[in-house]
Structure 1
Amino acid sequence: MSDGFVRLYRRDWTPARVRRRVDSLAATGMVLAYPGTGRITAFDEIGEQVEMFREELLAAMAAVGDKHFTFRYWLEDDPDATVIASVRRVGGDVVVEEYSLDGFGGPVYRKGQDTVIRRLLAEFRATESAIGLIVDRWGPSGEDDQDDIVIGGPARVTVVPELMVLRPDIARRNWASSELVPHGDFLAHDTDGILTLAG
């Protein structure tokens, strides 16, 4: 099993942009409603499932504060596959969307993880207000204060995830230029060839 995650950091988290994110993921087959029943679920503070209507969930996503709002996506092409997601504010106007890679375990974990990572790389590229992306297949880099790193605070990378895509000034604070590759307006530190999934 994996405790990995993908974190997408962005600004301008408005109700319209929340809807756009959910609709964009749905177009790739990553949907809020369980394909068999149409049921949509979020999770309360103690991890209990709470059934919600779509508009109710979108409103809760848009109104998020500094505590995680956690909910579930389903993969239409694999009714047993679920992606637990959460959103929360990271100071001022930055929101982090976190997508769990947990459950994509066993000998084919990469194939399962990659179906999620590929979608989120495309979302990152399509997000005009994106400021950073982290992919950690196993989760240990979560020990760092990644929020502070991405927004440009004093924290530094000490546990390196497989992929970090950061604004150039922040990336150069953590790695030599020879260890970085361009990715749009960003620089990436990619130890696992994850950017090749972006096509």
Structure 2
Amino acid sequence: MSDGFVRLYRRGWSPESARRRVESLAAAGLVLGHPDTGRITAISGEPETIGEQVELDRADLLAAMGSLGDKRFTFQYWLADDRDADVICTLGRVGPDVVVEDYDLDGLGGPVHRIGQDGVIRRLLAEFQATGAAAVGLVVDRWGPSLDTDLDDIVVGGPTPVTVWPELLVLRPEVAHRHPELSNPVPYGDFLAFDSDGILAI
């Protein structure tokens, strides 16, 4: 088990971009419906039912994703080729114009056996690249030590220093240059990547 995660940051979130993300991930084998039952489930964030699965149809889930308000919205993806492997995704706003897609790596492999994690990370790296000009930044933390760091603030250009490094931190160059504590960046499209674990080569 791990507390790892992948976070994609982007501008221009809309019902259409939500639909495109779901369709693109489905083509890569990360689907909304459980491989056996087809059930589509959100995860309740309400105090009286927090953490419980809430069954939705596809249209309602896409509507909830596309009309994201101030509250976070959490739901499940499933690996089409592994009926027991799910990836919980939480959508939330970071300021008025940036949305973060937070994908949980819990249960997808430990420090030695990384195959499950790598498969999901590889798909999400492709999604980041496909986001194009709307992309803002990317974080991959395999085991979760940076959970207590305000990564949202760092990625959007805030003053929070990077005191705990995730394995991969992809920033716009103007943001990266504000962090002299980071070193050895490599170009990654229009971004600079700080990759301490060879994740870009997965």
Aligned twin of 1:91 = 95
TM-score (norm 2): 0.94
Aligned-partner SS, 2:6: strand
Name the structure with the higher helix share: 1
Gap regions ≥5 residues in structure 2: none
Aligned-partner SS, 2:16: helix
Contact 1:149 1:155 in 2 (8 A): yes
In structure 2, distance between residues paired with 1:93 and 1:192: 30
Q: What's the CA shift string for 1:135-161, capped at 9, x where partnerless?
A: 000111121111111111111211100
Q: What's the CA shift string for 1:34-58, capped at 9, x where partnerless?
A: 1111110001111111000101001
TM-score (norm 1): 0.95
Q: What's the CA shift string for 1:98-157, capped at 9, x where partnerless?
A: 000000134653111000000000000010201000000011112111111111111121
User: Relative to 1, partners in 2 of residues 1:114 and 1:144: Cα closer, same or farther, differing over 3 Å?
Assistant: same
2:170 maps to a residue whose letter is V
In structure 1, distance between residues paired with 2:37 and 2:127: 27
Aligned twin of 2:172 = 167
Q: Does 1:111 align with 2:124?
A: no
In structure 2, distance between residues paired with 1:47 and 1:109: 27
Aligned twin of 1:8 = 8
Contact 1:29 1:75 in 2 (8 A): yes
User: Relative to 1, partners in 2 of residues 1:162 and 1:16: Cα closer, same or farther, differing over 3 Å?
Assistant: same
Contact 1:180 1:188 in 2 (8 A): yes
Report the identity percentage: 67
Q: How many residues align?
A: 197
Gap regions ≥5 residues in structure 1: none
Aligned-partner SS, 1:87: strand
Contact 1:66 1:91 in 2 (8 A): no
Q: What's the CA shift string for 1:152-176, capped at 9, x where partnerless?
A: 1111211100000000111122247
Aligned twin of 2:198 = 193
Q: Does 1:184 align with 2:189?
A: yes
